[in-house]
Amino acid sequence: MRLFLAVKVAPDVCRELSSWADEVSLPGKRVAPENLHFTLNFLGEGDLDQVASRLHGAFAGMEPFSVSLKGLGAFFSRGAPRVIFVKVDRGYNELIALEKVISGKLPEFRKDKPFIPHLTVSRLKEGSGAKEEVEKLIETYKKRDFGSFEVDRVILFSSNLQPAGPVYTVQAQWQLG
């Protein structure tokens, strides 16, 4: 089962982001509003029961916190944009702390690259030729406030890839605090 740990974005912020993306004709394949989340750790194929048991109680000492979203960024591959994301203004360090707890409990899933909190809103195919368009969007919306929300839980999702897009199913969740 394909698994990942994430923080879900509040519905009002999802609506705001979706409305904005409609207005600017965001290039690439947009993430469906109901699927917007912060991936803390993509586990890939994993044993649901084992992951859930190892994370039991892991977040009890962490307090809920606020995340605010401001500005855009992109991840590039070979000079071309591949992912457009919304940046974290407030709550950045707290998201990193969540990822560190997960990596400590599930070290076999630790990544080689450092964790960078970001909210993916669109994915572009290789060779899309949208580099200038994406750079202009980043510059135009660098101070755009996309809202804020409270993080009070970590969710373990399964991901079922479908032709119309991924279907995420909550498998377990843990309250902070």
Question: Minimal CA–CA distance to 80: which of 36, 28, 24, 22?
Answer: 28
Q: Supply the residues annotated as catalytic.
A: 37, 118
Coil/strand/helix, residue 108: helix
Residue 103, H or E segment: helix 92-105
Are 144 and 26 in contact by the 8 Å Cβ rule? The answer is: no
Q: Helices 92-105 & 48-55, crossing angle to 10 degrees?
A: 120
DSSP state, residue 91: S
